[in-house]
Amino acid sequence: MDKYLKNYGQWIDETWDKLDKKLSKVAVKSREKIPYTTVDGVHDNRGETDPSWWTNGFWGALMWIMYIGTKNDVYKDTAVRAEELLDAAFDKFDGLHHDVGFMWNISSGTNYRLFGDKEAKKRWDYANALLASRFNAEGGFVRAWPSWGENADNTGVTIIDCMMNIPMLYRASVLAKDDRFKFIAETHARMTMRDHIRPDGSVHHIVRHDPHTGDVVENIAGQGYAVGSSWSRGQAWAVYGFVLSYLHTQNEEYLDVAKKVAHYFIANVAATDYLPLVDFRSPDEPVMYDSTAGACAACGLIEIARCVPEHEKKIYIDAAMKMLVAIEKEWCNWEENEDAVLMMGTEAYHKEDGHHIPIIYGDFFFAEALLKLKGNDFLIW
């Protein structure tokens, strides 16, 4: 794959160096926090205000990415501390749901895989058990959320995001030498192929199923513009999530789906100079972007390029690089007065106070993509 990156070598090295220079300082500054965004350039502390918030594993995981790429213990120390702070989420059991993969697979799971830390393994095992317990055997899916409030019923709800959480179950089967976790993950992946992926490669964000039969009851707009639209980060979850399922199982069906969704993503982002809109099927105005969708999709595209035959690799590498270069040029902040790196993240189309803000998983996926491009093959998922 190196021959497809030769024109980008200087950019990759210089961007990684800028990332390391900035984050080595932020790692110390924010060591007692679990950040989500920044306020006036300063990291907030979502670990304090909402310990079970679904993104709370990304800060520690970002630190592990930087440690893997630099071997600088300042990152390791902050990653370990983030893991300790995340323990508070276990005390809020009713706040945990399918995103325990986002929270502990890439934080505690990485710690255990790198150093064999026994406490990290306990946390990771607990998270695996929590995720496996959400499996609906009759419906054939992992339920996304509990039912919030007396009138809410989420018993049959699944979301595309969960494709990024089930890799934890694949790893659990290998470590436990017990395929029951893998059975759950693959059953959910097959459901997602059937019910979330449209024929053209676009994606339904949220699907409600009959919890007894698994039949689709309705599609729900979720964080995109509307039912039937195409929320870009949901597309990115599918691109990366399905290639991850392929990497863990070698089931070619998953790679084919990842490529199908990737082609749809590439076609749409190329139309906006490789800067992803929040929703690829939204009105022309207002123009809203989501940098996090591009960073996540780039990670998936790089992994697809590693898996496909030689003559296909260029398609995915070119798209990933054009997107990352555009994102870095337009949306990265390298100043010391801003703790975050990647600006212009958007939580949801209709969440006005969540438009064009830094979000921690944007920094994580941007750093992860760079680590891959530098030739490191550690798969944090």
The average pLDDT across 25-36 equals: 98
Q: Where are the domains of the chain?
A: 2-373
With 90 as the cut, is the pLDDT of residue 4 above it? no
pLDDT at 95: 84
pLDDT at 349: 98
> What number of other Cβ atoms are within 10 A of residue 105's Cβ?
27
Residue pair 216/195 in contact by the 8 Å Cβ criterion: yes
Structural fold of domain 2-373:
Glycosyltransferase (1.50.10)
Residue pair 65/24 in contact by the 8 Å Cβ criterion: no
Q: What span, in angstroms and rounded, lies between the C-alpha atoms of 330 and 8?
A: 17
The average pLDDT across 121-143 equals: 98
258's tokens:
């990842």
Phi, psi of 319 (to 5 degrees): -65, -45
pLDDT at 149: 72
Percent of the chain with pLDDT over 90: 96
Q: What span, in angstroms and rounded, lies between the C-alpha atoms of 373 and 75?
A: 20
Give tens-digit pLDDT for 207-255: 999 999 999 999 999 999 999 999 999 999 999 999 999 999 999 999 9
pLDDT at 246: 98
pLDDT at 3: 82
User: Residue with structure tokens 């599609």?
Assistant: 219
pLDDT at 8: 95
With 90 as the cut, is the pLDDT of residue 293 above it? yes
pLDDT tier for residue 124 given thresholds of 50, 70 and 90? very high
> What number of other Cβ atoms are within 10 A of residue 288's Cβ?
17
The average pLDDT across 27-37 equals: 98
Which sign, positive or negative, has the C-alpha torsion 290, 285, 271, 266?
A: positive
Burial of 4 (0-12, 13-18, 19+ CB in 10 A): middle
With 80 as the cut, is the pLDDT of residue 100 above it? yes
Give tens-digit pLDDT for 48-87: 999 999 999 999 999 999 999 999 999 999 999 999 999 9
Give tens-digit pLDDT for 361-374: 999 999 999 999 99
With 90 as the cut, is the pLDDT of residue 103 above it? yes
Nearest to 306 by CA among 259, 257, 268: 259
Residue pair 74/27 in contact by the 8 Å Cβ criterion: yes
User: Residue with structure tokens 């944007």?
Assistant: 362
**203: β partners:** 197
**141: β partners:** 136
The average pLDDT across 286-296 equals: 98
pLDDT at 84: 98
With 90 as the cut, is the pLDDT of residue 127 above it? yes
pLDDT tier for residue 151 given thresholds of 50, 70 and 90? confident
pLDDT tier for residue 152 given thresholds of 50, 70 and 90? confident
Q: Where do runs of H (alpha helix) occur along 271-359?
A: 291-307, 310-331
